[in-house]
Chain A
């Protein structure tokens, strides 16, 4: 403990200096503030969005793999247009009520309002379903489905039969 006498002794008269510790502390504080104010600011960048999907020409065989299994995209075809229905995975993905359509040509099923297996074209190598045998009501039904799809989903490709001149060569 310092003795009371020692503290009472007045400090020797000294010249006022700018280089005292408190001044140095304040000066460096000032420098930091100025730096913070004027430092070059980094440009704001938003994270890049997902890369755009490339439009493709599918055949029934190549479309098959886009059935939503293992987190893959869910595609389905309506009258030659392939829609990416991944946002509606709960309906069209595995386990959903429309799961049969995933990766397939869904035109006939949608037109007939039936989600059964037999609505799908069995022969993947054969020609596309031309829907010629459907009645006007079914076609109208299909039309309204198609309009709904156009509103909600993206067209990511088109579907052609195997052996079509437009079909990609493997």
Chain B
């Protein structure tokens, strides 16, 4: 009989044998397995976005011209439909079924002053504007700014100003002048503030500005005015600390031709006359253009004149490129540490104002700033920065300061990102933060908007590793956009939920809904690589070709070659 033991019985004996060895260690191991299974079940989450949406992020037109790639568009605006050209502003009292107006900068300010709207009812909760000066943040109410818009606007209107050059650091006065231009009908030109006097003088001459608004004491008036015959009026903006001084003095050689005034004195004098209300306007009247300076490699900076429809289309494109639950809202504080003289930060700040978010401006904002220092004064939920700032920050601070513990925590967070889930501000990420971001005051940060200038140094292009580190160590989602001369806002921007990691440089996402992208000069065997050409309502001359070559990847996102 022994030789005929059935297979089942043998197996039974074997299992019994094995189980006979059960001891305390076995119980421990079994317990660990159960705990691990429960842990991974409880902590597993659906990815933030369906992976298929990241696998094909824009649509290609099925027909292409010879020598060009297919035309690529955002998923929001399919081929055959118009690109996004405006904010679809609905005036109160307009019939419900009518489509809204495109809107312009005046609508942006009006929406900001009106306050948040919830379910069709206005709650009247306004955003605030902060100016960050070092560790201090000064708060301005929107009424106060409206007053300044009215005072400055009506003064410049009465002196028949046509073109106003603004040479200021990022400040409330800069914003007020931009809006005053829209309300009172004069062109505004934003000139970067840190230029040397000769360049500035040349730019002013080229711009043919008749009014200059600049920081008191920051530039030599006789040098600027003597070479600039158009200039008839200067308004100084005095810093808080230097308001006691008399800035009304005009240098001898330009006396008589030049009128000088001081911003805060004007506002003080006229504020009772100007009123707190937003000036009213006819919806169909056009607003003047806004010009910024595009820094170019050859040192001869070029002007880019954005028509109001370019700006508004870019503002709308940037707003809607974020999914609904990630858009700017009344609870947000948007800090720009990139200069408003660049169109991406400018359009993002406008988008924030339109969405009733609070806005913080930093007087040191620029393309290359110290990320840690620039964010100390306030605790923002959204930060707008340049690729140069972020790449420097990553190289100098984040990478050297990450130790063993944060590397370990980072490893866990990377798994989460790979599963398509944003790591929460939990214990692990707190541990991860100990090293690299200790000096930051970014507890509330939820979104980091980074723009890369198409002609910037390729060294500052962000890699996938850098973007992943930024996500993990700041605990914020990241969007990474490509900007180009002649395109308001951005050309393309990554999906806010796209955490995928690849090798080397990160891609730059899908085109915004305000533009369409086509690669020109492609060879027949490599039809996805060529000169980046952009057209659409956000493009100044309707169509422009960038200096860089780009490639459309298999997931229909754009990358620079």
Contact = CB atoms under 8 A, between A and B. Distances in A.
Interface of A: 1, 16-18, 20-23, 25-27, 29-30, 33-34, 37-38, 40-41, 43-46, 48-56, 84, 154-156
Given A20-B21, A22-B26, A52-B61, 13 more contacts: A20-B25, A23-B23, A23-B26, A26-B26, A30-B32, A30-B33, A30-B36, A37-B40, A41-B418, A46-B555, A52-B527, A55-B64, A154-B62
A4 to B, nearest CB: 14
10 contacts: A16-B24, A21-B21, A22-B22, A23-B23, A23-B25, A23-B29, A33-B36, A45-B554, A45-B555, A154-B62
B283 interface: no
Contacts of A25: 18
A52 B70 contact: yes
Contact of A49 (B2, B60, B69, B527): B60
B52 A46 contact: yes
Q: How large is the interface on B (under 10, 10 to 19, 20 to 34, 35 or more residues)?
A: 35 or more
Question: Which residue among A29, A49, A155 has the maximum number of chain B CB atoms within 10 Å of its CB?
Answer: A49
B30 interface: yes
Nearest to B29: A26
Contacts of A52: 60-64, 69-70, 527
Contact of B37 (A33, A51, A56): A33
Contacts of A56: 66
B8 interface: no
B65 interface: yes
Contacts of B502: 43
A27 B63 contact: no
A105 to B, nearest CB: 20
A58 to B, nearest CB: 13
Nearest to B40: A37
A67 B454 CA distance: 46
Contacts of A41: 418-419
B481 to A, nearest CB: 22
A46 B355 CA distance: 35
A26 B5 CA distance: 28
Contacts of B1: 1
B5 to A, nearest CB: 8
Nearest to B501: A43
A155 B18 contact: no
A1 B4 CA distance: 9
Contacts of A44: 51-52, 54-55
Contacts of B63: 52-55, 84, 154-156
B446 interface: no
Given A33-B36, A34-B36, A45-B55, A20 B23 contact: yes
Interface string B36-49: 11001000000000
Question: Which residue among B29, B37, B69, B554 has the maximum number of chain A CB atoms within 10 Å of its CB?
Answer: B29
B188 to A, nearest CB: 42
A54 B23 CA distance: 72
Contacts of B554: 45, 48
Shortest Cβ-Cβ A-B pairs, 4 listed: A20-B21, A52-B70, A52-B64, A44-B51
A166 to B, nearest CB: 13
B500 interface: yes
A98 to B, nearest CB: 22
Interface in B516-561: 527, 554-555
Nearest to A18: B25
B102 interface: no
Contact of B25 (A16, A33, A40, A43): A16
Given A23-B21, A33-B33, A54-B64, A1 B26 contact: no
Contact of A21 (B18, B24, B500, B555): B18
A48 B419 CA distance: 23
A41 B55 CA distance: 14
B11 interface: no
